[in-house]
A and B are shown apart, each in its own frame.
Chain A
């Protein structure tokens, strides 16, 4: 079964500093990867996705992620964070099952706390 590991449960950072949120996945087949953000008391918003093609994926709000097959990683980066980026970030991999269903397998999440 596929799995996702988010290596940091919490990442504190100062405003305007760069940030990297780490994600590793386990899969031996074609992989589809996602980053979602969850603001307090809200649902999940799609930040970006990797389905195929260029390994550098750009998303919303200035975020980008790099797919690294040899290291089975999909780290999320932003060159300069804002207070408004404070949220929980989830890395997910799509898993397909018999009958044609597709489910997302999520990591435990990384809490990004941006301080002034």
Chain B
């Protein structure tokens, strides 16, 4: 079975722009979570979605938003990009919200 997939793999944007990152969960998984990993640090939780509803949100500004589609794929949107948004964005899926999370390869975002 295919694992979690994310697109694009790399992205370069300039300050003030908007970005959309995409994630497809493992088949049969209904929950998707997003994490931000800044260079040299552990991942930080951004959102969790389950059955198309937001279940939880981390300590991130309103510039960050997400949604989950009927096929359980998900998008992470970031508006008004700042230099500090440069990071690896990881998507993780789980069968249910409370179960073990499996990560995708990530999208590396560079904001110039």
List A residues at the B interface (Cβ < 8 Å): 4, 34, 36, 42-46, 49, 90, 92, 96-97, 99-109
Interface-located stretch among B13-21, B62-70, B77-85, B101-109: B101-109
Given that A44-B43, A109-B41 are known contacts, is A103 also in contact with B48, CB under 8 Å in the complex? yes
User: In the complex, A41 Cα to B106 Cα: how many Å?
Assistant: 9
- Chain B contacts of A103 at CB under 8 A? 33, 45, 48, 56, 58
Contacts of A109 in B (CB 8 A): 41-42
Contacts of B50 in A (CB 8 A): 100-101
Question: Can you identify 12 A-B contacts, CB atoms within 8 angstroms?
Answer: A34-B100, A42-B106, A43-B105, A90-B42, A101-B50, A101-B55, A101-B56, A101-B97, A102-B56, A104-B33, A104-B101, A106-B42
Q: How far is the CA of A34 from the CA of B90 in the complex (A)?
A: 17
Report whether B100 and A45 are in contact in the complex, using a CB–CB cutoff of 8 Å.
Answer: no
Nearest residue (CB) in A for B46 is A103
Contacts of A42 in B (CB 8 A): 105-106
Within 8 A of A (CB), among B19-72: 33, 35, 41-45, 48, 50, 55-56, 58
Interface residue total, chain B, C-beta cutoff 8 A: 25
Q: Could you list which residues of chain B lie within 8 angstroms of chain A, going by C-beta atoms?
A: 4, 6, 33, 35, 41-45, 48, 50, 55-56, 58, 90, 92, 97-98, 100-106
Smallest CB–CB gap between A106 and chain B, Å? 3
A110 to chain B, nearest CB (A): 10
Q: Which of A44, A99, A105 gathers the greatest number of chain B CB atoms within 10 Å?
A: A44
Are B56 and A46 in touch, CB under 8 angstroms?
no
